[in-house]
């Protein structure tokens, strides 16, 4: 009788273990997927944090000097003073 009960408990435990390992919403597969997604999100967070720091430094450089701000306005936005002429030279790459 005890051997039969042990077999039932072992079988029940085995079925429960297989169910939890492969079919439950917290299975090994889904945990591995969540871990991979978490690593990707952390990598993106680190990338954007570094980019944010770089942009803050550029902002401080631009706002710290009128010369740098004028240079950016002239090069990127093609702005000019009233008494100046702007010539655009296109090069073939």
pLDDT at 38: 97
According to DSSP, residue 24 is labeled S
pLDDT at 39: 98
Choice among 28-37, 54-63, 80-89 with the minimum mean pLDDT: 80-89
What pLDDT sits at residue 1?
56
Tokens of residue 61, six digits: 């450089």
């Amino acid at each position: 009788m005890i051997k039969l009960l042990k077999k039932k408990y072992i079988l029940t435990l085995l079925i429960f273990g297989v169910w939890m390992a492969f079919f439950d919403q917290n299975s090994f597969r889904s945990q591995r997927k969540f871990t991979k997604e978490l690593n990707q999100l952390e990598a993106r967070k680190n990338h954007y944090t570094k980019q944010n720091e770089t942009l803050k430094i550029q902002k401080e450089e631009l706002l710290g000097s009128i010369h740098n701000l004028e240079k950016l306005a002239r090069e990127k936005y093609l702005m000019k003073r009233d008494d100046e002429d702007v010539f655009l030279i296109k090069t073939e790459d």
